[in-house]
Structure 1
Amino acid sequence: MSKMQTSPLAQTLTLPCGATLKNRIAKSAMSDSLGDGAGNPTNDQVNLYERWAEGGLALSIIGEVQGTPNFAEKPGNLILNDQSDSGLLERLAKAGATDNAQLWLQLGHAGAMADAPISTPKGPSALDLPGLTCGALSLDEIHALPAEFARSASLAKELGFGGVELHAAHGFLLSQFLSPLFNKREDAYGSSLQNRMRLLLEVIEAVREAVGPKYPVGIKLNATDQLEGGFAEDEALEVISAVDKTAIDLIDISGGTYFPGAASSSDRAGSGPYFLEFAGSARKKTDIPLMVTGGFKTRAQAESAILDGKADLIGLARALVVDPELPSFWLAGQRTEPQFPRFKNPPEGGVTAWYTMQITRNAKGETALAPDELDAAVAEYESRDEARRQIWKSRLS
C-alpha cells in the first residue's frame, strides 16, 4: 500500500455542515497583498490560488477580506460588498477550487490596527500608545457589525467560494474585543469575558443565518495574544466552550498579535508546532474540527498531530510560500520538510515583507527570492503598498 493511501494527511474530513475536505492540509490565511489597490482581485491572485490548489492541498484561505473600505489592514486587501467586481471574484473562486480544493475567504476588520493612511482606526476602546492610536467604536457602529459580516458571507456564497472564516485572531477587531488590553469598555461589550465575547457570538449567529446550515463557516481564534495582560489560554478555552454551542464548522487555532513592536508567532524560534498542546486542551472543550496553524516544519510533525487527535487539519503558511507544491509531495511520502530561508538581523517586519514578495514571485511563476535579497524585498513591498494607498484613497475614500 502506498504512502498516499496510508498517510493520515490523506484522510478526508467531513465538516459539521456536511462539506468534505479531500485531505488534511490547508493553506492558512496570509495577507498576500495581491489586491489591485481598489479592493479587487488581480490576475496574479487568480494564478496564485490556482497554483496552490494544483499543489494538492484541500483548503486555501485568503487573508483579511474586508466588508467595507473603512478599516482595511493593508491596501492590497480585497473588499467584498455590493460594489465589488463580481466577475473577477468569481474567477478567483473558480481558480481556487481547481482539483477539488476549496477556497474560503477570511472575513476581517482591522479595527484599531487599520492602515492609518487609508482609514481612521477604531477599536473597542480609544488608545494612545507608541505606534498605535485609535478611536472607540460607538454602540451603533458595533451593532452594525454582525450584519456587515453576514452580508460579506452571503456574497461569498453567491460568488462560488467554498466557505468563509471569521478572523478573531492576531489582534484584528474581533480579537481586540476579546483582549483586555484593547477592550476597556464598561458596557455590554466589555469588562467580563462574557461581554468581551458577545460581539464574536453575535457575528457567528448572523453569518450562519445568512448562509444557511450547509455552508462552511470557520473561525480563527488566538490561543494567546502573547502579550502581558492580554487574551490568555484560560480565556481562549472558555471562548471555545462558547463557540462549541454555535454552528461553527472549523476552529482554526493560532496565536500572537500584530501589535507594534510585538514579535510575530511566525518569526519566533522553535522546531515544532506552536499551539498543538493548546489544541489538545481545546479538544476536551469541543467536538468541532480543529485546524492548528503555526510552526509545522516537517511531515512527521503534521502526521503526528493528526494521529494524536490534537488536530483534524494542518494549517501551513510560510511552508507553502517556499514550496507551493508541498502537499502533493507530503501526501506521496516525499520531501520531509521544506527549506526555509535564514536571515541575518532582519528589520522589524522585514521577514514578512520578504515572504509577501515571494508570494508575488509564486503568482507570476518567477524564480525564488534569495535570503540576501531581503533589503530589496522590503523596499519593493513598501513601494507597492504606497502606490496602492494612492489608488485606494482616490477610488474608495
Structure 2
Amino acid sequence: MNALQDEMILPNGVILSNRIAKSAMSENLSNKNHEPTPTLINAYKVWSKSGAGLLITGNIMIDSNAIGEPRNVVVENRQNLRQLKKWAKSVEGTNTQLWAQINHPGRQAMELINSNLKAPSAIPLKTAGRKNTTKKVPEVLSEKEILEIIEAFGNTAIILKEAEFSGIQIHGAHGYLVSQFLSPYTNVREDRWGGSLENRSRFVVEVYRKIREYVGASFPIGIKLNSTDFQKGGFSEEESMEVVKILSKEGIDLIEISGGTYEAPTMMGKRKESTIKREAYFIDYIEKVRQITNTPLMLTGGFRTTSVMKDAVTSNQLDIIGIARPFAVFPNIGNDILNESRLDFITNIKKTGVKAIDGMMNIVWYESQIKRMGQGKKTNPELSAWSVFFNYLWLIIEHKLKSKSKKPVPSQELK
C-alpha cells in the first residue's frame, strides 16, 4: 500500500484526494497590469494533470504598491475577476484542489520596483541582493495602515473565493510581512503589535480572523509558517510551536512548515547533518509539532525520493508532502510518485559562475521552467542560466519604466 494515495480530511470537512501537494513557487507570469496570463493559466492546466491532490499558487499580492516580483499577480479589486476565474478553472475535471497563496512582502518588497518599503519596524535587510540593493530602511507601519492591510487580506480572499479557487493560504514564512511581525528581530514595536509573542502574533491571528469572517467556515484556510528564522534574535523554534498552538485553536485547516528568510535562506537548500538521510529540511521540527497539534501538517523543503515521502506519511510524522522545485522540472511528478514509476526527483539548476547572479537562480531558473510549461514547451534541465538572467533583468527594467508612467489608481475595493 502507498500511504501517499490516502485521502486527507481537513478540519472543516474538505477532502484532499491524496497526500501530495505542490507548494507555492514564484511564477512571475502576470501581464504588465498584474493580471493572470494565458501562460500562467496553462502552466496550472499542466499541473492539474500531475496527480497532486493540492496545488498552491505562488505569491498573489494584496496591494499593487507592495510587490515582491515584477510580474506578481495582484488582487486588490475585481477588475481581473474574469482572468482569475479562468485560473481557478485550470483544475476543472480533476481531483486536484487549487489554493491561492496571498501575501504582503513588507520590507521584502523589491526595492527596484517599489517606491516605498513598509514594515513593522524600521529595520532594513542586512544583505543586499535582488530584493533590496541599498539596504533601504523601511517606513514603520502605523496602526491605521496595519488595520488596512488586515482588511486587504480579507478583501483579496473573498475575491479569490468568488473566482472559485478551492482555498486560501496565508504566506507567513520566509521573511515576508506576517513573518516580520512574528520575529522579535524585525518587530521591535512597543505597542499592541510588538513585544511579547502574544502581541507579535496578533497580526497573523487578526489576518486569519478577517479572512475567516469573509470566506466562511467551510472554505479552507491554511498558512505557511517558519519553523524558525535561522537568525540570531529572530523567530525561534519554541515561539513557532506556540504560534502553531494559537492557530490550531483558531481553527486553521492546514499548517505548512518551512523556514528561513531572504537573509538566511535555509528554505533553499541548507540542512542539518542529522536530517540529510531523511531529506526534508525541517523534519526534526515537525516531529515535535506533531505532538502538540491535531491540525493537518504539511512539510515542504528537501523531499526528493518516493520512499522517504512514503515513510514520512506512514510514520505519521506529517500529513501532506509539500514539493516545490521538482514540480517545475517534472510536471507529472504526482502521478510518478503515486504510481512509483519514478523513485527520485533530483533537480540541479544551471549557474553562470558569477556569485551575485547565481544566488537568484534558485528562484528565477525555476520560474523560467514554469514559463516553458505554460507556453506548451517541455521543461529543459539544460536551460542556460545567462539567458534566464537577462530575461529577468529585462522584466525589472520594463516594470520600472512602466512605474514611472503609472497613473494614480483608485483606493482598493473592500468587501
Shorter-chain TM-score: what band? over 0.9
Q: Distance in 2 between matches of 1:163 and 1:179?
A: 26
How far apart, CA to CA, are the structure 2 residues paired with 1:251 and 1:317?
16
2:18 alignment partner, one of 15, 18, 23: 23
Q: Any conservation in 1 of the 2:227–2:237 contact (CA below 8 Å)?
A: yes
Letter in 2 for 1:379: F
In structure 1, the partner of 2:265 is 263
The DSSP-based 3-state class of the residue aligned with 2:328 is helix
- Mapped pair 1:349 → 2:360: yes
Does 2:408 correspond to 1:358? no
Alignment of 1:53-202 (within 5 A): 53-119=48-114, 120-128=116-124, 129=126, 131=128, 132-133=135-136, 134-202=138-206
Counterpart residue identity of residue 194, structure 2: G
- 1:312 and 1:24 mapped to 2: Cα distance? 7
Equivalent pair of 1:36/1:42 in contact (CA under 8 Å): yes
What letter corresponds to residue 75 of structure 2 in structure 1?
L
Deviations 1:244-301 (A, max 9, x none): 1112100010111023xx3342233656101122111111121110011110010111
CA RMSD of aligned residues (A): 1.8
Residues 382-397 of structure 1: pairs in structure 2 closer than 5 A: 382-391=393-402, 394-395=405-406
1:25-45 deviation line (CA, Å, top 9, x unaligned)? 111011110111312000001
Alpha-carbon distance between aligned partners in 2 of 1:394 and 1:21, rounded to the nearest angstrom: 45
Contact (CA 8 Å) 2:349, 2:362: kept in 1 or not? Answer: no
CA contact 1:37–1:392 (8 Å) conserved in 2: no
Deviates more, 1:359-368 or 1:335-344: 335-344
TM-score when normalising by structure 2: 0.90
Deviation of the 1:396 alpha carbon: 6.6
Are 1:275 and 1:294, in contact at CA under 8 Å, matched by a contact in 2?
Answer: yes
CA pair 362-396 structure 1, distance change in 2 beyond 3 A: farther
Unaligned regions of 5+ residues in structure 1, if any?
A: 1-5
**Worse-matched range after superposition: 187-196 or 127-136:** 127-136
Q: Distance in 2 between matches of 1:250 and 1:279?
A: 13
Cα pair 1:150 1:207 within 8 Å, conserved: yes
Q: Which amino acid aligns with 1:368?
A: T
What's the counterpart of residue 3 of structure 1? none
Map Cα deviations across residues 60-93 of structure 1 (whole Å, 9 max, x no partner): 1112111220111112111112243111110000
Which of 332, 338, 341 matches 2:345?
Answer: 338
1:145 shift after superposition = 2.1
Counterpart position of 2:412: none
1:251 counterpart SS class = strand
Name the CA distance, whole Å, in 2 between partners of 1:176 and 1:37: 28
TM-score (norm 1): 0.94
Give the whole-Å Cα distance in 1 for the aligned partners of 2:46 and 2:377: 13
Please tell me the residue identity of whatever aligns with 1:265. Answer: M
Identity among equivalent positions (%) equals 36
Query: 2:69 corresponds to which letter in structure 1?
Result: K
Note if 1:328 corresponds to 2:324.
Answer: no
Change (3 A) 1:72 1:157: same
Deviations 1:128-182 (A, max 9, x none): 4453321111111112222111111111111100000011100000000011111
Which residue number in structure 1 is paired with residue 304 of structure 2? 297
Taking a change above 3 Å as real, the CA distance of residues 77 and 310 of structure 1, as seen in their structure-2 partners, is same
**In the alignment, is the contact (CA less than 8 A) between 1:298 and 1:338 conserved in 2?**
yes
State the shift of 1:342 in Å. Answer: 5.2
Structure 2's unaligned 5+ residue stretches are 129-134, 409-415
Structure 2 distance, partners of 1:50, 1:108, is: 23
Matched with 1:246 is 250
| Alpha-carbon spacing, 1:322–1:370, altered in 2? closer, same or farther (3 Å) | closer
- Corresponding pairs, count: 390
Provide the residue aligned with 1:376 in structure 2: 387
Q: Give the Cα separation in 1 of the matches to 2:262 and 2:93.
A: 32
- The CA distance in 1 between the partners of 2:163 and 2:17, in whole Å, is 21
